[in-house]
Structure 1
Amino acid sequence: MNYENSLDYAKQLDREDSLAYVRDEFHIPKDKNGKDWLYFTGNSLGLQPKQTQQYIQQELDDWAKFGVEGHFEAKNPWMPYHEYLTDKMAKIVGAKPLEVVVMNTLTTNLHLLMVSFYQPTKEKYKIVIESDAFPSDRYAVQSQLNFHGFDVEEGLIEWKPRKGEEILNIEDLEQILLEQGDEIALLLIGGVNYYTGQYLDLKKIAELGHAKSCIVGIDLAHGAGNIQPNLHESGVDFAAWCTYKYLNSGPGSLSGLFVHEKHAHNKELPRFAGWWNHNKETRFNMRQPFDVMPGAEGWQLSNPPILSMAAIRSSLDLFDKVGMDALREKSEKLTGYFEYLINEIDTDRIKVITPSNPKERGCQLSIQVKNADKNLHKKLTKNNIITDWREPDVIRCAPVPMYNTFEDVFQMVAILKTLL
């Protein structure tokens, strides 16, 4: 597109935006004078949909009205409540309903999945992660290596950007697998890198890993609700993601989990067990031997927190109304305009380290600022611009298509320019 660097043009793009109405579905934080913040941290915590309070209140009312009988008598009975989320979550991540369940929190789910899918031997035990993986992923795989009795220094392989570059190159992963594939048991890769915002080719990663008989797992914390990962088609073995970022379900909310259909009926996979992954038909006959359910439901452990699931249900209903195709289309336009405006700033101090190809990124742009420190972030905050600072010199900004506008982007860059 041929963009223009003017407020009138940004407002014109907002008038032409077919999703402009969706912003009104969210609570937008305001300053002490009642002016909307410029909120660019949906990649850390999504904003609250206005209907979420109603969804949670329904369950509070039914708890008050029915007590324990709410499991069966509530307007939305609690016993099967997680099932209300499955189809819509599966659509968001491109999976079959059999392959998806909402449960636990992200790192807990990654550990439960590794119990099943990380089965090292003395010869084949190494794990590949990105060199700048999110810390919780690094800690998780380090502890798995330790748990199985392997040396972390030898067992952890880092897929690194090339010297002088920020983003990862798929050919370098291919080379790692060519050289060490016979020793690698698992690839656990962030589908969208938290630092650079790079969206990786999941299908290619799966093909490379499987060619060397490696299990392939994906952390979609920064991908679910942001990009379209098409998990089933990609062929990855498993994935997990949080719901409080782009999926707007509230601080610390539950995680989504994907297990590919090819593993759905394998009851021999080792796993930790609880009564919630036992056959739901005989679950309440307390003296039955363990009978694991097929599909992703077979990784559940405990009955879920309904109030958190109510918030997720509220957000998923919005996603279902709007559709990921429309959200991605707007996201590409928003980041395209954002990138254009950043490049219009006449200084060599800043550059966008996120890939410029819209197909290789979500809505986050990571802006590197030479000779800057966190004081720049603090100055942005004083101007009611909520971004995320990452050491040593990067501002992560995520204009979310659900609720951010082209005018938001224009105003943010105009203020950043004055601060520089």
Structure 2
Amino acid sequence: MTSSTPDSNSYLDLPALTAPDFSPQTYANTLVTATNHPTDPSVDLATPLSRLLFDVQEVDVRLDDLSAKSAAQLVQDTCARAEGGDAVLRAVEADVQGLTGAYERLEREVVGKYAEADRAVVAGGRMVQVLRLGRAVGVVLRLGRELQGLVEEEAGERGLRGAAGVLVELKGVFGVAEREAWGLERVAVVRTLREEVVGPGERVVVGRAQRVVREFGTAGLLAAGDGAGGAPKGQPTYAQTEAMKTLTGAALQTLYLLSPVPPKSSAVGRFAPTLLLQALQTYLTAALTASVAALTRALANLATLDKTLQEISARCQNVVALETLLANTSPPFHPLLPPPPPSTEITEPQNLLEPLLAHLDTTSLPSFFWRSLAGNLAPRVQAIMERGGVSARTLRAQKERVREGVRGCVDRGMRVGGQGMVGGWEREAAVMVGSVLGGMGTR
């Protein structure tokens, strides 16, 4: 029988049933072993099951007693908890409404204005791009008209220098627009101007400058060939010579400015003005080719030897004058060339002669002229001697005349403005005489 009070003598093991580590398996095993012997092969479950049913009834009775006795208190506690929950909910809802209003105000006063400001920034950036593009288009059109006018002029000093400056400025505008993605190349009028004015204009200016360099000293050379007995007449006047030097200097600087500039990403190195070097090398090659061919013909027919040597002397004088002009011409300022880093040992050339001498791997242009001429002449003389005949016999018989004529040719070639030979040019005369007499089989 069970007692009506919780503290009465009850068979319920409340501490075990309410323990935090209660295990149903352990409790069931305890009930079974309490009424059965562990070694008994037959297990009686009726008694443990009855005990368990009584425990359940006892728990149910106790719950009923506690509920009946504490019903009012339970209802009161439940109502208090519900009222507390409602109060908390009302407070939370009020806070949520406040947060919602604050967020709406923040969205209205900050987020919306930020989005509007962001659109304004984007619009402003695009307006700046349009403004830069418009200014660039205006600059390109102005320079294009200026270039077109300069190209239509005669190939004078002003035309060459002005056109070169305009072309360099145009290249600078195109380069900046390309780096900063202005889209200048997508403007139809700019694209047309570049294809129909800038490109053809640059080719015309480069061609004119190359022709000026190619024709340097031609008037003096023709006058040297007109004189009787080696005495030139009709030489250009001082004013004509100075005008030719001025025009040639402008052409040289034009070719320097219009030479391709290496990209900034390339390795740091000294700028090589390829257009200038090609034009000067073409000039020297033409002078050497004409001199070799003329002297070969003169050695086969000595009647024309004096006139030919006079012409070769005039060509060497032109080479000497060109060297002097290059040495006295400073490289123009090139705005497209980046300055060399302070840590590099590369030094800018002081004149336009330095890059040419470095390109030809020589110390002077006259030395390059005579030594190249001598190197090409020896096999030609040997071919004349191998063919035999009157030309070979005459050449062998008059070798002393040829020797003195060649030495005099080198001597006159190094005389500029009535001056004597400058420096130890006797070595060049010896090289020339050795190439002719060596080809003849004598010294």
Per the shorter chain, which TM-score range? Answer: under 0.3
Greater RCO, 1 or 2 (C-alpha within 8 Å, sep 6+): 1
Give the structure-2-normalised TM-score: 0.20
Q: Which of the two has greater helix per residue?
A: 2
Structure of higher CA gyration radius: 2
Give the structure-1-normalised TM-score: 0.21
